[in-house]
Structure 1
């Protein structure tokens, strides 16, 4: 994962935490602006375009938790929430194979729950450290179960971005924004995801206006 993707996940995780504490509306947008301002400073002083060095399984850090971001789309409570929390707890400890296994069992018991399929897609992508046919299938199943709802497509885009395909990720997120109500509570997360990945692609003369 290169610096930009790590930065994107940190921004989304921070916004998810704010959302969990019921920060909404203009305050959430202000927080997002502050985070993006900090990202701009990192872009100016750091080297986010440089890929990180490959690590062994023992050296690999656990995935950044997506719990708060998931709650922004699906809420904090649900009949299958305990499965997701167990899986995410295992992932935070670096046990990504076990995390995926928990959700594979969960979707067998609850095949009609789109949030579980999204969680499985995330867990499989975390375990492989890239998007895979199995994770794509999980996201596709979630989308079939909840046609028109943005969460499956958003997390599929995030998995693409984490796999290095920022262009397709941004395209998916822009489609979501084009369809989203202006007052959707999760809209700022999608907007900030687009801003975090789309800004580095601008040419220098675009940024300076020359």
Structure 2
């Protein structure tokens, strides 16, 4: 609406600039009557000078002829307007009407013919929600990446592209983007927690030491930060301290409103580790055992050498791969398996898992697109 008001004012100013000189009266038309009186006075003055002997008769006659010629011209313009004056007035009126009416009509016709008046206005958020056939996330990300390549110190750009990387499954890129945003824009609880979350995703859902440190920094800034609290609880669970994890998650649920969006996730996590009675008003549904390390496995892992831990992780990945041979409908399991193989440096098995996952999902376009995004983010093909 503001844009249309500005354009209307600009159009009015342009029309006024055209009409103003057309509305002014020609200067000679305004002075014709005054000129007649002056010329008559001049004739009388010449006659007086001749009688008083100031000028000769021949000079007086020549002056009278010149003044009379001018007087006749002025009298004709005053008493009988010429056709030229009338024609000039008519032309000015035609020009004024053209500027006032014809120009806006012609401009509107050109816009209707070649413009896009049928398209409704849309803010940026609405344009970003266009369907895939009108917009490509990959092309938009490519544009942002090209911009960041030219402007690597644009912290806002890194902050914007990081959650898109997370949605596309490009977790390593998300870690890099969120680390750059944190470095350029400064530390905050949200940025520290987001960086830790990306590290967990890149580490196949394992809260690494770097990720845990990031969550701890977030809690130093904001002790009540929900994301950081949850992942600190998850780190305690993975470190073989289920009681500590249960304590953290029970405290979160006790402070959370009944309709909190994160509540189901925390309730499900609490069900894995809580051996006591759930807090009052919290219904904990039992869950089927999830593939992955048990509490005993995680506790024992703390005593293993790096080589033994690698063997332990490989064993868990092998068990996940074996299960997916029969439970092929577990799409999230396929995603975890592909990422796990990449983290372990086994690109061939990652590609094999990617092919098997595509065969398992069939013609599901959404899942196939997620697999393609994951493969692209991890730098593999299949």
| Pairwise TM-score range, normalised by the shorter structure | 0.3 to 0.5
| TM-score, structure 2 as length reference | 0.27
Larger radius of gyration: 2
Structure having the larger proportion of residues in helix: 2
- TM-score of the aligned structures, taking structure 1 as reference length: 0.46
